Amino acid sequence: NAGVTQTPKFQVLKTGQSMTLQCAQDMNHNSMYWYRQDPGMGLRLIYYSASEGTTDKGEVPNGYNVSRLNKREFSLRLESAAPSQTSVYFCASSELTLYSNQPQHFGDGTRLSIL
Amino acid sequence: QKEVEQNSGPLSVPEGAIASLNCTYSDRGSQSFFWYRQYSGKSPELIMFIYSNGDKEDGRFTAQLNKASQYVSLLIRDSQPSDSATYLCAVKGYSTLTFGKGTMLLVSP
C-alpha cells in the first residue's frame, strides 16, 4: 500500500521552463491537495480538489495550474517557472472533508529548484 | 484570512520531561484540529486530531482543545530524543486545512 506517491522527487529547472508534478493516491480518497512549503512560511495550499471533477484555488495559486485526471491522480503544472517557485511541494489526500474530520495524508514531496 | 499561530521555537526539553506545544487560531467557527509531526527533510505525518473541548489522549500524546479561548495544545509525556521534530498545528475550515508555521522541538538526552 503506497499511500500518496509523488514524482519526481527532485527537479532542477531553468527560469521559464515548464513542468508537471504528478501525484497519485491508492486510498480511494475523494479529496486531493497541493501545498508548497518554504522555510519560515509553513505549508501553504496552492490548489485542491474536493472531489473528482472539481478544483479550487487555495492561498497561493498564482503561477500554477492543476488537473484532476481521475479519482487517483492530481497533477500540478508550472507553465513558466520562476525562481520564487523554488520550494518543496507536497501532495496530500483525504476522504471528502466537507462533512467529516478525516485527516490528510501526505506524499514524500518534490524538491524543486528553479535557477 | 484565517490564521493559525504557533511559537516557532525551538522548544528545548530534557529527555523524560513533558513538552508542551501551543497553537491559537483566528476562525471561531473552526471545528477540527490536527497535530502533525515533521522530521527534517520528510513529509508531515498525523499524530492525532481533536474536535471536542477537553483532552484527548493517545499513548504519550495528549491534545487539549479550548474553543472558547481558540486554543489547542499538544502535550508529549516522557519526551524522547526521537520526538525531536517540527510539530504543525492544522485547523479545518469548510473543506481545507490551514497550517501553522510549526514549532521545532528539541529533546536532549
pLDDT of residue B31 exceeding 90, the answer is no
Minimum CA–CA partner of B96 in chain A? A97
| pLDDT tens sequence across B34-61 | 999 999 999 999 999 998 999 999 999 9
B91 pLDDT higher than 60? yes
pLDDT at A98 over 60: no
Q: What is the mean pLDDT of chain B?
A: 94
Integer Rg of chain A from CA: 13
A interface with B, Cβ–Cβ below 8 Å: 31, 33, 35, 40-45, 48, 50, 58, 90, 97-98, 101, 103-109
Residues of A with CB below 8 A from B58's CB?
A: none
User: pLDDT band for position A99 (50/70/90)?
Assistant: low
Task: Test B92 with A101 for CB contact under 8 angstroms.
Answer: yes
N- to C-terminal Cα distance for chain A? 36
Low-confidence winner among A5-19, A89-103, B41-55, B83-97 (lowest mean pLDDT): A89-103
The answer to whether residue A109 scores a pLDDT higher than 60 is yes
CA atoms within 13 A on the CB side of A37: 26
